[in-house]
Amino acid sequence: MDREVFQEQFGLLGNSPAIRQVVDKIMQVSKTDITVLLQGESGVGKDVTARAIHGTSERKRNDLVIVNCGAIPEGIIESELFGHEKGAFTGANDSREGYFEKADGGTIFLDEIGDTPKNVQVKLLRVLENGEFFRVGSSKVQTTDVRLIAATNRDLWQMVKEGTFREDLYYRLDTVQIHLPPLRERQDDIIPIFRKFVQDFSARYDSVFKGFSDEARELLISYRWPGNIRELRNVAEQLVVLEKSQFIDVERLQKYLKGRQHEGSADNLPMIAGNESDQNSDSDFDRRDRELVYRALVELRNDIGDVKRMLANFLYSSLSDKGIKALPPAIRDEVKTELPSNLNIDLGNQASLGMSSFPNQHNDEDDSEIIDHEESELLRFFGDGEIPSIEDTEQFLIKKALEKYDGNRRKASETLGISERTLYRKLDQYGLA
């Protein structure tokens, strides 16, 4: 079967080298009965991959039984997998087949296999080795003929070293391993996959999607997609349903990206790419460290930029209300690069602040005296000897702007130099809503 036809048939979206390697490997192993271990983060499409393997195997006419081991309580997982006899435990009113019996002649897909308790791992090893198992409460040997596909988002070998996963079971599962790359490592696939989802949801909900700006496109690509394809699909569906017939810009898109939270995660920061030699060398740990430091610096830069813009807007607005035509030199030099384009303010000696004239003319020293005389909360906040955090500064400016305009969020956002959407997001982020 042609690769493109195969991908279209089973929903393995993308054309990056990473996903092509995955598809080639799937097509190689699907015709056999070999055990396959799928490794990858949550949301990368491990279940879709398992369906593709089963769908092109010799067992495709029989059942594919999907079991999420992480979702089954430890006390009943053995019964769920291998079945039980009547009276085996309280509530066992009838005999019951387990998943391995139901999958006889077909394929069983054990997702999150790293979550299985060690007593069950022993039984899994036996059924994989010779197809034999016991129902709970029975001494009669049962047999089954299944092909196993397992999946995990955990490092099983590390679990082996920690003693939480059996080494013999690990080697039995690790016959063929397929690594499913996270979406952030296949950036070329993000826009095509997003467009496919949008087309599907537009048809389903009879909606019109008018496209998105270049900036929104760049954000889609640079965002880290911690939820991978599952998150991308969810965002596409929300945009189609909730932003119906709207052109998507950065601000509209940001509402649906979990992004950087106030705890400091950096999921919506741009990524840096290491070269081939870095990725294959012993310096992977150093490379990851550099990447973390880089993201932290970019995040800090973005936060400081936001605060400087808000502070500059708020400061100019406060001074203009008092009829002050210019800032003191020290303050003027510090914030002049953050001057909002929508404010008509001259940072020189003849500032206008959007007014035709002033009744009184002041020099910089006079302005400083006026500011000192006012003893504004703004200056007290920054002049108490302690350097406030970025979050505290943002919260302070937002609160003061809302107080100044009696809760009018439109005027507050204009004063702070941010959009209303951004203001709403920050109110929610800091619990100020």
The model's pLDDT over 149-186, given as tens digits with 9 standing for 90+, comes to 999 999 999 999 999 999 999 999 999 999 999 999 99
Range of the domain at 422: 290-429
230 & 149 share domain:
no
Question: What's the whole-number average pLDDT of the chain?
Answer: 78
Q: Return the bridge partners of 143, or none.
A: 132
Q: Is residue 50 part of a domain?
A: yes
310 by Cβ neighbours in 10 Å (0-12 / 13-18 / 19+) ranks as buried
Q: What per-residue confidence (pLDDT) applies to 391?
A: 74
Please check whether residues 8 and 145 belong to one and the same domain.
Answer: yes
Range 46-66 average pLDDT: 95
The region of weakest confidence among 69-78, 143-152, 278-287 is 278-287
**β-strand 64-68 against 107-111: which pairing, if any?**
parallel
Percent of the chain with pLDDT over 70: 70
Same domain, yes or no: 49 and 114: yes
The secondary structure of 323-392 as a DSSP string is T--S--HHHHHHHGGG--TTS----STT--TT-S--SS---HHHHHHHHHHHT-HHHHHHSSSS---HHH
User: What pTM was computed for the model?
Assistant: 0.60
Which one is predicted more confidently, 406 or 122?
Answer: 122
In this predicted structure, what is the pLDDT of residue 272?
46
Same domain, 96 and 128: yes
Domain containing 135 — which CATH number? 3.40.50.300
pLDDT for 389 beyond 80: no
Residue 324: strand, helix, or coil: coil
Q: Is residue 27 part of a domain?
A: yes
Residue 372 lies in a domain: yes
Q: How confident is the model at residue 296 (pLDDT cuts 50, 70, 90)?
A: low
Domain membership of residue 279 (yes or no) is no
Q: Are residues 148 and 193 in the same domain?
A: no
Domain boundary among 181, 200, 222: 181
Instruction: Please indicate, yes or no, if residue 29 is contained in any of the structural domains.
Output: yes
Closest to 235 measured CA to CA, from 255, 216, 219? 255
Last residue of a domain, one of 239, 254, 269: 254
pLDDT at 245 over 80: no
Question: Residues 129-157: what's their mean pLDDT?
Answer: 93
Do 386 and 308 lie in one domain? The reply is yes
Do 375 and 411 fall into the same domain? yes
Q: Which CATH number does the domain housing residue 195 bear?
A: 1.10.8.60
Domain-ending residue, one of 122, 153, 181: 181
> What total number of domains does the chain contain?
3
Least confident range from 42-46, 169-173, 310-314, 378-382: namely 378-382
Q: Is residue 349 included in any domain, yes or no?
A: yes
Is the domain of 215 the same as that of 81?
A: no
User: Is residue 273 in some structural domain?
Assistant: no
Closest CA to 275 of 284, 267, 266: 284
Average pLDDT of 80-108? 90
In terms of domains, do 170 and 38 share one?
A: yes
Q: Is residue 172 part of a domain?
A: yes
Q: Are residues 191 and 43 in the same domain?
A: no
> Do residues 81 and 227 share a domain?
no
- For the stretch 320-352, pLDDT in tens is 555 544 444 544 444 444 444 444 444 444 333
Number of helices followed by number of strands (H, E) in the chain: 20, 7
pLDDT in tens, 353-387: 333 333 444 444 444 444 444 345 555 565 555 66
In sequence order, the β-bridge partners of residue 65 are: 108
Residues 391 and 314 in one domain: yes
When mean pLDDT is compared over 198-207, 340-349, 371-380, 408-417, the highest value belongs to 198-207
Instruction: Give me the sign of the Cα torsion angle 86, 89, 92, 97.
Output: negative
- Torsion, Cα 182 183 186 191, to 10 degrees, reads 170
